Structures are given as C-alpha cells and as structure tokens.
Amino acid sequence: MTPDERASEPADVVELPAASRATDIALDELEIVYAFIYARVGNRADAEDLTQQVAMKAIPRLRQGAPASAIRGYLFATARSVLGGFWSTRLGLSEAELHEDLALALPTSPPSEESADTVQQILAQLSDNYRHVLELRFLHGYSLKEVAAEMNSTVGAIKVMQLRALRAAAKVRPLE
Amino acid sequence: MNGRPENRVEKIVADLLRGRRLKLRGGDAEEKAAITAAARLAGARQGPQRMQPAFRKRLAQSLEHAPSEGWITRRSALVAGIGLAAGAAGGVLLGRTAGPEPVKASETIEPVDGRWIDVGAANDLVEGQGKRVVAGGIGAYLFRRGDQVTAVSSICSHLPCELWWDGAGGHLACPCHPAKFMSDGRPTDPYALPTLNKVHVRVTPSGRVEVLGTA
C-alpha cells in the first residue's frame, strides 16, 4: 500500500469513485428492471429489495461489461425468478401453485409505456362499475368513503365491489 | 370481521396506496389473484417509476465494490442487535461502513465480554421447532435434536431483519424479502445467500439452556 493509498483510507464513510462505464450500463438496465418489478409489486420498498436481489445475482455478468442487449435477457430472467420467489414466499405458496396471472412475461415495450398501457387495457375490459371503483381508488386516490359517496353506495358494498373488481381484473389478459 | 376477504384485501390495498410494502398473512393466498392485481394497479397509478437517486447510488456503489458474496454489511445489525433490525426494515441497504471487516455470515458470533445467559429449559424445546430467545443484545433461534441444542442468529444473513419461525414450513423466514433458512442456518432458496451466523449455546448438567450473549 502506498502512502497515498493509506492517506485516502476512509474515516467514517467510504467515498467511492465515480461509477465506471460498465456500472452506468448496468444501472441503466437495472432501471428497466426496477420499473418492471415496481409495476408488479406496487411499492417502492419491495421493488428496491427485489431489484437489489436481481443486481446481486447478476453482478458477475454485469461486471463483465457486456453490452446492454447481452445482459437484458439475463436480468429479466432473473427478475422473473426473484418475483416468483417473492410472491410464493409472501403468499405461502409453492411457485408451482402460483398462477401464471402473475404476468411475469418479458415486457415487449419500454416500461415507460408498458404499465400505463397494460392498466388501461385491463380496465377497459371490465364492467362499468368495476372499472369505476378501481379507477377512483387506484388512479384518483379516493378513499373507500369517497368512492362510496361518488357511487351512491356504502363503504361495505364498495369493499365487496373492489374485491370482485380486482378478481375480475386478474382474469383479464392484457394484449401483448 | 377482519377475516372477511373484502376486509383483508382492503387492508392490503390501503397499505399499497400509502406506499407501504406488501404484508400478507395466512389466508391471503386464497385471494392471490386479487392481491397481485391490486399490486399491479398500485404500481401503475403513478406512472412508470424510476429508482430513487439514493437507491441508485447505493446500487452503483454495490456494483463497483461488492464482494463476491452479498453486499450488505451486517456487522452493525449483529452488534447492535434487534433494535437496528427493526429500523432497517424499510428494505434499504446499509451503508458500507469503514472499520473492522464485516462479520461474515456462517461465523459464530463472539460477543466481546460475552456472558452465558439462561434462556430456558432444554425440555421445553420442541424437537424440530425453532424457538426464539434473546440473550442481551443477541437474538437467536434454538433447535433441539435429541440431547443436542443448536442456535443460529435470528437476523437474516442478507437484509438485517428479524427472522420468524415458520412452523408449518419448518424453516426460518425473513419478513423483508424472500429468504428462508433451515435450522442449521443454510438458505433454502436459490438466492445463494450466506448461511446464518451461529450462536454459542450449551446445556448445563441441570438441563438449562444457556446462550452466549451480552450483558
């Protein structure tokens, strides 16, 4: 170790050098993976955990500095595996028991278009009431009480309708 | 009331809409289709998501500097014990801290000034079932097989979260991500996680179980 190296040893926090070109490429790919995962788990904390797991498993490949196209397939295969593990653990099911409606297929379009398009396709195939309750709740952020007021119903009835609407939404196969 | 499916799913929906992580419990599997649909709708409601800058930075750091096995410095969690695990349950990576080398999972925890702490009678341990005990700042799961009692850390070898004993599955499960461990600390899942740290344990002649913990 040279004196310079010794002098640059960390005190409390490790200062890291600027990311390398290979890391930049990897991060850009992981952004797509993150969006893919977020669109399926619906929250940041779980999406970060799972993206982190994908990255961890893929580190050897990412470090090779391979072009984006070469690692994308590997990353999404890994992401599907990690998502499968996530749902099976959280739901207490074997992966074989998980229905394929978990929609782990590779996205064919950029995630920026994938999520919104898919959701619109799903909602468009629901009955008016089901679509309305899900739109108000998820897209407009209404509380149950607000949804009930908007739809001239009760909170209890809206809760049941929401459950049925979600079950129906799960059965819709988005156009790929 | 809360056991009704519409109530259980509503709780999950409400959590998702508040940006909270998915917390599922027994019976939710029956509504897996509705729950996964809710997660997808919640994921789409704010449009496409990009990583938060802080998370992207941590990923960059990890990619640049990750050791071959895992990225998480768990030393802080192991030393500080259970309290930190709860604080880290947000699912974030711990920063890579300077100082002594991180404790490698699978090593046995050697607390400085450790002391043997009575955690119960060996006869109270059900064979094949994990029992969580606390010995000062060290949390552990005990397992008895015949006269032998073994102990592993109750903190996951990946994210610093408190494991729970899944009696039905016969394994330790991490609440923060999909990771499971067998009673000997080895991971059951395909993520190639490190094994859990072992914890010193002994059985006294009078049949009491003692764990090497902290004051």
CATH number of domain containing A154: 1.10.10.10
Q: Please report, as a single letter, which amino acid is at residue B101.
A: E
What does the DSSP assignment read for A159-174? HHHHHHHHHHHHH---
**Any domain includes A11:** no
Range of the domain at A167: 111-171
Domain boundary among the residues A102, A133, A161 is at A102
Task: Provide the shortest C-alpha distance from residue B117 to chain A (in Å).
Answer: 33
Find the mean pLDDT for residues A62-71.
Answer: 64
pLDDT tens-place string over residues B25-58:
767 778 888 998 899 889 887 777 899 999 998 8
Binned at pLDDT 50, 70 and 90, residue B188 comes out as confident
User: In 10 A of CB A129, how many CB atoms?
Assistant: 14
pLDDT at A76: 83
* Whole-number pLDDT of residue B158: 75
Confidence of residue B2 (pLDDT cuts 50, 70, 90): low
Token look-up 């991500």 returns: B177
What average pLDDT score do residues B104-116 get? 76
Rounded to two decimals, the ipTM of the complex is 0.77
Provide, as residue numbers in chain A, all residues whose Cβ is less than 8 Å from the Cβ of B26. 92
Task: Kindly state whether residues A140 and A78 are assigned to the same domain.
Answer: no
pLDDT tier for residue A99 given thresholds of 50, 70 and 90: low
Domain boundary among A84, A102, A120: A102
**Domains, chain B, with CATH or none:** 5-44 (no CATH), 50-215 (2.102.10.10)
pTM comes to: 0.56
CB contact under 8 A, A162 and B13: yes
pLDDT at residue B118 greater than cutoff 60: yes
What are the chain B neighbours of A52 within 8 Å (beta carbons)?
59, 62, 71, 93
Closest partner residue to A48 among B32, B91, B97, by Cβ?
B91
Nearest CA distance, A122 vs chain B (angstrom): 10
User: In this structure, are A92 and A34 located in the same domain?
Assistant: yes
Per residue, the 3-state secondary structure of chain B, as one string, reads CCCCHHHHHHHHHHHHHCCCCCCCCCCHHHHHHHHHHHHHHHHHCCCCCCCCHHHHHHHHHHHHHCCCCCCCCCHHHHHHCHHHHHHCCCCCCCCCECCCCCCCCCCEECCCCCEEEEEEEHHHCCCCCCEEEEECCEEEEEEEECCEEEEEECECCCCCCECEEECCCCEEECCCCCCEECCCCCECCCCCCCCCCEECEEECCCCEEEEEECC
Q: What is the pLDDT of residue A69?
A: 67
The number of domains in chain A is 2
B52 touches chain A (CB under 8 A): yes
How many whole angstroms separate alpha carbon B111 and alpha carbon B215? 10
Report the residue of chain B nearest A9, measured CA to CA.
B98
- Does A24 have pLDDT greater than 60? yes
Among the listed residues B147, B7, B66, B209, the one whose alpha carbon sits nearest the alpha carbon of residue A59: B66
What is the average pLDDT value for chain B, to the nearest integer? Answer: 76
- φ/ψ (deg, to 5) at B158: -115, -75
A49 and A71 fall within a common domain? yes
- Are A68 and A128 in the same domain? no
Between A164 and B96, the higher pLDDT residue: A164
B20-32 pLDDT, tens digit per residue, is 888 887 677 788 8
A46 vs B21, B169, B189: nearest CB: B21
Place of tokens 């408190």: B162
Same domain, A26 and A97: yes
Q: Would you place residue B96 in the very low, low, confident or very high pLDDT band (cuts 50, 70, 90)? A: very low
Q: Do A95 and A23 sit in the same domain of this protein?
A: yes
Most confident of B95-104, B115-124, B159-168: B115-124
**CATH number of the domain to which A41 belongs:** 1.10.1740
CA–CA min distance B63, chain A (Å): 7
- Do residue A81 and residue A125 come from a single domain? no
Domain presence at residue A3: no
Identify which has the larger pLDDT, A155 or B64.
A155
Contact B106, B194 (CB under 8 A): yes
> Is the residue at A176 inside a domain?
no
Domain end marker among A42, A69, A102: A102
CB-based contact A170 B5, cutoff 8 Å: no
Examine the domain organization and report whether A26 and A86 are in the same domain: yes
> pLDDT tens digits for A126-146?
999 999 999 999 988 899 999
Does any CB of chain A come closer than 8 Å to the CB of residue B66? yes
Please tell me whether residues A98 and A115 are part of one structural domain.
Answer: no
